């Protein structure tokens, strides 16, 4: 089986430092500070939004966090809903213009730490 570019140890190291609620952009900024080499690898593999790809390094990390939040063993994140519709909730909000420029979507997930 192919290993994930970002392992659970790296994922959780950053989650532990995040505030109670955060977006993928805030998470990615922290990830880049702590794991600059790994961040460059993700950007090389997936690109950034606006570089001609819809699945970017931010999309990859967001998907990893969503999957992590829904795994069977309790983790550090509240489970994000599955199959949601785009509407404001405690897990989803509209992006700001700056966020949209970096992430590309009109909606952004709010990840929430447990506890």
Task: State the chain's mean pLDDT as an integer.
Answer: 90
Confidence of residue 60 (pLDDT cuts 50, 70, 90): very high
pLDDT of residue 52: 63
Cα 26 off chain centre by: 9
Q: Which residue did the predictor score with more confidence, 35 or 49? A: 35
Strand ranges in the chain using DSSP code E only, listed in sequence order: 21-22, 92-94, 107-109, 111-112
Question: With a threshold of 0.85, does the pTM exceed it?
Answer: yes
User: H/E/C letters for each residue in 3-28?
Assistant: CCCCCHHHHHHHHCCCCCEECHHHHH
Residue ranges of the domains in the chain? 8-112
Cβ atoms of 58 and 96 within 8 Å: the answer is no
pLDDT of residue 1: 47
């Amino acid at each position: 089986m192919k290993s994930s570019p970002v392992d659970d140890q790296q994922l959780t190291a950053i989650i532990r430092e995040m505030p109670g609620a955060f977006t993928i952009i805030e998470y990615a900024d922290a990830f880049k500070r702590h794991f600059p080499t790994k961040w460059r690898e993700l950007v090389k593999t997936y690109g950034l939004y606006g570089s001609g790809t819809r699945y970017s390094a931010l999309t990859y990390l967001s998907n990893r966090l969503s999957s992590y939040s829904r795994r069977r063993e309790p983790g550090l994140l509240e489970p994000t809903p599955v199959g949601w519709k785009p509407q404001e909730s405690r897990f989803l909000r509209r992006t700001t213009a700056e966020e949209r420029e970096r992430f590309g979507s009109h909606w952004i997930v709010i990840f929430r730490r447990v506890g």
